[in-house]
Amino acid sequence: MPGVLSQLVMNREPLHFAAVDIGSNAARLLLANVFEDEGDGTWTSRKASLLRMPVRLGDDVFLTGRISDRKASKLTNTIMGFKYLIDAFEPQAVMACATSAMREAENGMRLCDEIFEKSGIRIQVIEGKREAEIILENRRREIIGDDENVLFIDVGGGSTEITILSGGKIVDSRSFNIGSIRLANDLVRQEDWQRMKRWLKETASGHGPLSSIGSGGNIKAIFGLSNTPFGKPISRKKIREMRDFLKWFTPDELVAKLGLKPDRADVIAPASDIYINAMKWAGAKKMHVPMLGLADGMIHVMYKDYKHGTEKEIEKEETVRDSSLSR
């Protein structure tokens, strides 16, 4: 792999892209280098830097329906800090997306407008289906085969996005108001669980045996703590064992003894319940946990848009040149 990467670097200086992911639990900034191989048209992205700020918008929104002044100020300062790093990185493009908490906050769009006025960073508030599509932009065909039926589960602080794929294409996708922060604060209704259960049993049954893919910081942490070999799937039984193990500790003990982040420690066990139930109701026994997320998918979206724009500019220049030569 180092040899391949060296060749890519030799062919062209990397392109730079910046992705901002504003979730219910944390805001993240991913700065990525994209290396192109002019020989065969392939490309690869490499993380230059990843920053995470535990803003916890969901703590406000799922209890009160709005983002408090304190959290709004914290998010604004976070994005302003990201702005200066982005400016120094000089990316070809910047993309910022916000998910469940910002969607539900009655003052969410107003806060996005205020942040844009101060930082120049425009935040897209996206629906659950679009979130799943962007996440799956990241190495989809490296993760699943074109002939596989796949259950994709992305658990966030405020919602869970579940997508069924068949033949490499999305055939159905739903968002449920079941998230790790909601569950930790006893804000998930029984009817929400029943809605997820019904949909999974009805939808999954029509697509045969399902491979499953898990996305989100909590499943990555569970995977790491489980000592499952990288690249191998983790079983539903193992996730349940890890859930039971984690519940023996207080959040403070999880931070001190297992090294979890403070804003992860109080939601990791509730998140595991969501993965376990979704897998059980869909009949999936194992889960692949690739190191992908919304920010990684945004890098792919931006690169594709950049290439499309570049190709259009080239076509425009060729049309102008041909027209000039024909005179």
- pLDDT for residue 292 is more than 80: no
- pLDDT for residue 86 is more than 50: yes
More confident position, 1 or 146: 146
Q: So what's the pLDDT on residue 321?
A: 43
Please answer whether residues 294 and 26 qualify as being in contact, where contact means their C-beta atoms are separated by less than 8 angstroms.
no
Please answer whether residues 216 and 28 qualify as being in contact, where contact means their C-beta atoms are separated by less than 8 angstroms.
no
Stretch 94-115: mean pLDDT:
96
Q: So what's the pLDDT on residue 231?
A: 81
Q: So what's the pLDDT on residue 150?
A: 86
More confident position, 171 or 321: 171
What does pLDDT average to over the chain? Answer: 87
pLDDT tens for each residue of 22-77 = 999 999 999 999 998 776 777 888 999 999 999 999 999 999 999 999 999 999 99
54-90: b (≥16 Cβ within 10 Å) or e: ebbbbbbbbeeebbbeebbebbeebbeebbeebeebe
pLDDT tens for each residue of 264-286 = 999 999 999 999 999 999 999 99
